[in-house]
Each structure stands twice: as structure tokens, then as C-alpha cells.
Amino acid sequence: MAFLLFDGFQPIDLAGPWQAFTTANEEVGVPVYRLTTMAQKDAVTSADGALKIHVDHGLGAAAALPIDALVVPGGGGVHAACADLQLVDWLRERDQATRRTCSVCTGAFLLAAAGLLNGREVTTHWRSAGRLQRDFPDLRVNDDKIYCESGKYWTTAGVTAGIDLALALIERDHGADISQRVARRLLVYLRRDGDQRQYSQALRIQDRAAAPFRQLIELLQARLDHDWSVDAMADLCNMSRRTFQRKFAENFGMGPIAALNSLRREQAEILASSGRLSGKEVQRHTRSTRGISGTAAAARHRAGGAC
């Protein structure tokens, strides 16, 4: 498994997947992934210029190496890399023999510059999605996915999504048990599949949660299975019911029960898409579907319809 680096690469796009594959080797007990770095020169610098990586192979020496999977990280230097015809030609040629070719974050620009993604659905970090679509109009850019798989090509949203990509590939190669063990070792809070949104509803709500609502939102997220009432939420914020409902709606643009149900639905979708829990188990963990409706209806009845 080769990581193609360039000046201005993003360190976490390399380090995150690298560590996941290294941990997979440890969990399997044999080196099922042989990891290596390559670049045009002996050393490359990170996007901020503060980290220098001495690579294992130059592109000339790498020509003789078999590459099963090629991973291209992103970073601010990717656009200069796209203009390097020697690098682009090398990538296009080596891609012909890979079983997988992957990009992390804006590494998708380099794959696109080599003509590898034409006509395919791809993703990248949401901040760069518009430019990727403009620069390469033949691509179908989806800026609301963690990662996309299109044939042998995998593209990701970037940053921590590189770890999600690695976990997905590990599961594909060695099964869910090994992938889960790697995730636990890395202290990954929740395995995310490719269809999960880059910017979650939970994060949107958290971003807007000023005091005294911040601790409440954190508690709701941690205990979605609890039978929350508006009165209980108001008590936690040391407010009267009416004041709590008014200030909550002013801050979030929705009532407290609507916000709670939004968090529950998103978590239920994530758990259901993992395929590891039954529908009843998902409902038990999140009070989704009928559980959510019942709680919301009861709350609306107590609140006189205010939520």
C-alpha cells in the first residue's frame, strides 16, 4: 500500500489511514498491509511547512515496486501537484496496475487531473467540493458523503474521513471483526459509513448551543434513549417551562422536542446503516420511530402544542 506524497500535503491524511492499517497488521497478527511512502524527491514538507517526511522511494525507484493500493492525501500543495505533468503521468501509468486507487480529502484533485475519475461519483472536503466540480465538470461531486466508492476508486471527505476509509477497506479485506477491533484500538467513537453526512445534525445543533444549552445538548446526545420531557430539560437549564421553550426556539430555530427528535433520527440512521443492530435494538438505543413519536406527542400534549 503506497502513499503518494508531495510538498504541501496534509499530515493527518497520511497519519490517520497509516495508523489504521498498522493497527490492522497488529490485530491480524501478520503484516497484511505493507505500507510505504513515495514522492518525486527524497523528502517532502507538510502544508504548514513545519513537518518534513523522508519518503521510502522516489518515483523512479517506485516504478519497479508492485502497488496493490495507491493512496493520495490532500493538502494545500495538491494544486501545484496537479500542474506537475511528470507526477500526473506517473500516477496515470501506475494506476493501470492497482487494485485500488484512493484519495483523502483534496487528493481527489490529483486523481481527477490524471483523468482517473471522469464520469464517476466522488467526494472531497465540503469546502473544496465546488472548486472540484468547476475544475473537472465531468465528475459527479457529492459534497455530503464521508466517502464514495466507484469501481476501484475511493474518494473521501478528508481529515478524519481518511480513517473511515481505512476501516472500510480493512473490513472489506479482513471482515467486520478486525475492522471493529481496529476502531476500538483507535478510540473511534462511532464507525461511519460512506453515506453519512460530512456535517452532522448533531454538530449543527452543538455549534449553536450557547450557555446554558450547551450542557443540555451534550446530555441529550449522550442519553437519547431517555424519556425526556420539556419540564426535565427546563429544570436542567434552571428555567421555567415557558422561558426555556422561548429561549430554546430563539437559539436553535426549533422547539426542544423537535431538536431531540432530530438527534434521535440521525443516530438511528447511523446505527441502522451499520447493519449490526436489529430494528428493535436501534429503537431501544434512540427511542426512534414509534418511540420518538410517542414521546413527542406526549410532550406536545403537556405543552399545549408549544413544541
* Residue 190 forms part of a structural domain: no
Position 233, amino acid: M
Instruction: Measure CA 213 to chain center.
Output: 26
Position 232, amino acid: A
Q: Are residues 206 and 172 located together in one domain of the fold?
A: no
Q: Are residues 128 and 240 located together in one domain of the fold?
A: no
Which residue, among 59, 16, 36, 268, has the nearest Cα to 156 in the 3D structure?
Answer: 16
Q: Are residues 21 and 137 located together in one domain of the fold?
A: yes
Q: Total structural domains in the chain? A: 2
Q: What is the pLDDT along the chain (307 residues), one digit of tens a residue?
A: 999 999 999 999 999 999 999 999 999 999 999 999 999 999 999 999 899 999 999 998 888 899 999 999 999 999 999 999 999 999 999 999 999 999 999 999 999 999 999 999 999 998 899 999 999 999 999 988 889 999 999 999 977 899 999 999 999 999 988 998 998 899 875 555 545 554 445 555 655 555 568 888 888 888 888 889 999 999 988 899 999 999 888 888 888 898 888 888 877 876 676 555 667 776 666 665 433 333 333 333 333 333 2
Q: Are residues 113 and 8 located together in one domain of the fold?
A: yes
Q: Are residues 153 and 71 located together in one domain of the fold?
A: yes
Q: Are residues 159 and 264 located together in one domain of the fold?
A: no
Tell me the H-state helices in the chain. 11-28, 59-62, 78-82, 85-95, 107-113, 129-135, 161-174, 176-185, 201-207, 213-222, 230-236, 241-252, 256-274, 279-286, 290-303
* Residue 168 forms part of a structural domain: yes
* Residue 16 forms part of a structural domain: yes
Residue 266 has φ and ψ, to the nearest 5°, of -65, -45
2: helix, coil or strand?
A: strand
* Residue 195 forms part of a structural domain: no
Q: Are residues 33 and 161 located together in one domain of the fold?
A: yes
Q: Are residues 170 and 102 located together in one domain of the fold?
A: yes
User: Looking at 185, 210, 243, which one is the last position of a domain?
Assistant: 185
Whole-model pTM?
0.69
Q: What is the pLDDT of residue 296?
A: 35
* Residue 123 forms part of a structural domain: yes
Q: Are residues 39 and 94 located together in one domain of the fold?
A: yes
* Residue 196 forms part of a structural domain: no
Q: Are residues 120 and 25 located together in one domain of the fold?
A: yes
Q: What is the pLDDT of residue 206?
A: 54
Read off the CATH number of the domain in which 127 is found: 3.40.50.880
Q: Are residues 173 and 235 located together in one domain of the fold?
A: no
Continuous segment of H or E residues that includes residue 31? none
Read off the CATH number of the domain in which 220 is found: 1.10.10.60
Residue 102 has φ and ψ, to the nearest 5°, of -130, 150
Q: Are residues 180 and 205 located together in one domain of the fold?
A: no
126: helix, coil or strand?
A: coil
Structural domain for 236, as ranges: 201-303
